[in-house]
């Protein structure tokens, strides 16, 4: 009986030692470059005041939903440390250097408010990433992140009342080492951003439209990285 207990203890110790050795592969600082696709869905509503220009326009309101899919690319910097047998906790940040710009309306249509230029820049996330090691080369992870960006709008008679956009998100993924230092990571995540609000004035009728939207973003990313 004592011999069986000793053998069990030795087997358990060997297993734990093996998991700790595998975990070491995922610990330390990493730098990655990611690319992928993101889809944006925005549900919103708009309210327009009655006209003051003598045309008799009545107040109105409405709601709707829109979506778009585009590409994305950026930089990922992180650091991971062991948190027990087979578990690693990563903390990190991502940054997207490119600007996203959308123009609506016509610059010659002054009565409708002219052209509106909306620009999104300096998008970044900070995240915590618990990682569960499968073997010395592969691990699965979950992620919780905070995301933010600068939002600006310009054009005739346009004013954005919420200048920045931010929100919370979560994701899951798989990380695999191709060499002792180089790795590839695939990930799917989802972020729910705070509502944004803008006002637009029709110079001919005096009607003011206040629009608000609640954007949500889903992403599929592939990261190529190097662990130092």
Tokens 């695939």, located at residue: 186
Question: Residue 2 pLDDT more than 60?
Answer: no
Q: Give the whole-angstrom CA distance, residue 205 versus residue 38.
A: 39
Q: Give the whole-angstrom CA distance, residue 101 versus residue 32.
A: 25
Give pLDDT, residue 153: 65
The pLDDT tens digits of the residues spanning 146-182 come to 999 887 766 555 555 556 789 999 999 999 999 999 9
Number of structural domains (the chain) is 1
Q: Identify the domain containing residue 167 by its residue range.
A: 2-227
For residue 39, the domain's CATH number is 2.40.160
Name which of 77, 30, 33 is nearest 181 in CA terms. Answer: 30
Which of residues 148 and 14 earns the better pLDDT score? 148
State residue 12 phi and psi, 5-degree precision.
-65, -40
Model confidence at 111, in pLDDT bands (50, 70, 90)? very low
The pLDDT tens digits of the residues spanning 43-89 come to 655 566 666 655 556 665 555 455 566 788 999 999 999 988 889 99
- Chain-wide mean pLDDT for the chain? 76
Question: What are the residues facing 196 on neighbouring strands?
Answer: 213
Residue % of the chain over a pLDDT of 90: 39
Whether residue 218 contacts residue 187, with contact meaning beta carbons closer than 8 Å, is answered with no
Tokens 């991502």, located at residue: 94
Question: What is the DSSP code (8-state) at residue 21?
Answer: H
The pTM of the full predicted model, rounded to 2 decimals, is: 0.73
């Amino acid at each position: 009986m004592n011999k069986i207990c000793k053998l069990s203890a030795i087997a358990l110790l060997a297993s734990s030692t093996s998991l700790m050795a595998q975990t070491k592969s995922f610990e330390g600082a990493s730098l990655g470059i990611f690319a992928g696709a993101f889809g944006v869905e925005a549900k919103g509503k708009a309210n327009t005041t009655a006209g003051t220009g003598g045309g008799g326009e009545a107040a109105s309101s409405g709601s709707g939903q829109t979506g778009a899919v585009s590409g994305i690319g950026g930089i990922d910097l992180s650091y991971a440390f062991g948190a027990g047998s087979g578990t690693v906790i990563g903390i990190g940040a991502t940054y997207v250097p490119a600007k996203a710009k959308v123009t609506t309306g016509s610059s010659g249509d002054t009565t409708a408010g002219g052209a509106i230029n909306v620009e999104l820049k300096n998008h970044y996330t900070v995240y915590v990433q618990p990682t569960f090691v499968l073997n010395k080369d592969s691990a699965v992870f979950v992620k919780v992140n905070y995301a933010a960006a600068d939002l600006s709008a310009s054009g005739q008679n346009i004013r954005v009342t919420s200048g920045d956009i931010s929100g919370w998100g979560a994701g899951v993924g798989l990380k695999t080492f191709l060499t002792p230092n180089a790795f590839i990571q695939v990930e799917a995540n989802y972020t729910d951003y705070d509502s944004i609000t803008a006002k637009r004035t029709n110079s001919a009728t005096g009607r003011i439209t206040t629009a608000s939207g609640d954007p949500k973003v889903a992403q599929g990313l592939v990261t190529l990285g190097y662990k130092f």
